[in-house]
Amino acid sequence: MKWTPFHKSRTDTSEHAWRETYEAQIVQCWEALWRYAYRMTGNRDDAEDLLSEALVEGFRSFSQFRGDTRFVSWMYRIMTTTRIDMVRRARRRQAESLDAALSAGSGEEVKTREIADTGSDPVALLIEPMLSEEVQDALNALPEEFRAVVILADIEQMDYADVSRVLDVPVGTVRSRLHRGRALLRRSLAQYVER
């Protein structure tokens, strides 16, 4: 039986040290985790929900982290499985309360949209708030598994082998999902990318 921080009796000091160490690692790669969460979910509320859930999941298995992959890659993997679980749960709930949803109208579409952080790049300030939104919409339209591959390979620029390890799927699957994901994105962004 593997030891996990939550399930065994330990002193308060020890519990505290575990949490402190884990949080220090999280804070170090926060920007990367945030980008991934935001691009996977498409809005701040859902990104925060995903991160909160994934942080708990990560802490449960933190004692099994051996440092053979980068901590951030290890967290990408936990966030991906957590996200897929959350979407499945939400769909199940949605199916169960289909009548209620139909009568209440589509509340799901009305998510707060934020102007993306464009830094101080003047060109970006002019064109990016709009385009970032379009890109995010195009990403949102992809199936979760494709989206994860596209974000990791094309935005975070990891190679096939690293993505394969993070998502625990064969390299061939990474490659085919990436190609299909790109084709879908290219089509939904056609008006911006075709001359």
Partner 1 sequence: MTKRVSCADVQAWMNDFMDGVLNADQAVTLTEHLHACQTCRREWEALEATQNLLRAARVPDGQSSRVSVLARFRQRVADTTLERAPVRRHSGRRSVAAPLGLATAAAALGLAGLLFLLQPALVPPASPPTDAWPSHGEVNRLLTLHAIHSADISADTPELHRFVLADASSSAEGESEEGGL
Q: Which of 105, 107, 119, 122 lies at the binding interface for partner 1 (CB under 8 A)?
A: 119
Q: Which of 15, 85, 96, 168 lies at the binding interface for partner 1 (CB under 8 A)?
A: 15
85 near partner 1, judged by CB under 8 A: no
Q: Which of 61, 73, 81, 118 lies at the binding interface for partner 1 (CB under 8 A)?
A: 118
* Interacting span for partner 1 (CB under 8 A) from 76-84, 90-98, 102-110, 126-134: 126-134
Separation of alpha carbons 125 and 25, rounded Å? 32
161 near partner 1, judged by CB under 8 A: no
- Give the max Cα distance, the chain: 65
DSSP character string of the chain: ----TTTS---HHHHHHHHHHHHHHHHHTHHHHHHHHHHHHSSHHHHHHHHHHHHHHHHHTGGG--SSS-HHHHHHHHHHHHHHHHHHHHHHHHHHTHHHHHHH---TT---------TT-HHHHHHHHHHHHHHHHHHHTS-HHHHHHHIIIIIS---HHHHHHHHTS-HHHHHHHHHHHHHHHHHHTHHHH--
17 near partner 1, judged by CB under 8 A: yes
Q: Which of 88, 96, 131, 170 lies at the binding interface for partner 1 (CB under 8 A)?
A: 131
CB of 135 to partner 1, least distance (A): 4
* Residue 13 vs 106, nearer CB to partner 1: 13
Residues that bind partner 1 (CB under 8 A): 3, 5-11, 13-15, 17-19, 21, 23, 25-27, 30-31, 34-35, 38-39, 44, 47-48, 51-52, 55-56, 59, 62-63, 65-67, 71, 114-119, 124, 128, 131-132, 135-136, 150, 153-155, 160, 175, 178-179, 182, 185-186, 189-190, 192-195
